[in-house]
Amino acid sequence: MTLFVVFVFLAIYNAGNMTTLQLQHYGIYPAVPKEGFAEYMRANKLWQRRLHSEMALTGYNEEKIGLLIRTNWIRTISYWLLSALAISILVRVLQTAR
């Protein structure tokens, strides 16, 4: 049962991440002027994407992989904290609604 609860939580969490990406990231594309879109896209590339692209050309690089893993944990932990905060807020709202 515990494993199922963890699965449900992670499924909701991942759905929230993708919804946020869809609304915040892709949702602003229509507002970017067409004549400046290429420049916007160049400026919008994350530095991690650059590392992925470099390794796609050069192959395995232990230093770059380590950097990607370490920095991605920062983002992952931030999402977990945000998720915990959202759940905490939801629980408080539901408790006061009783």
The reported pTM is: 0.54
HSE-up of residue 46 (Cα within 13 Å, Cβ side): 8
First to last CA, the chain: 27
CB 12 within 8 A of CB 83: no
- The pLDDT, as a whole number, for residue 62 is 94
Average pLDDT over residues 68-88: 82
CB 75 within 8 A of CB 47: no
pLDDT in tens, 34-74: 998 888 877 767 777 888 888 888 999 999 989 988 888 88
CB 79 within 8 A of CB 17: yes
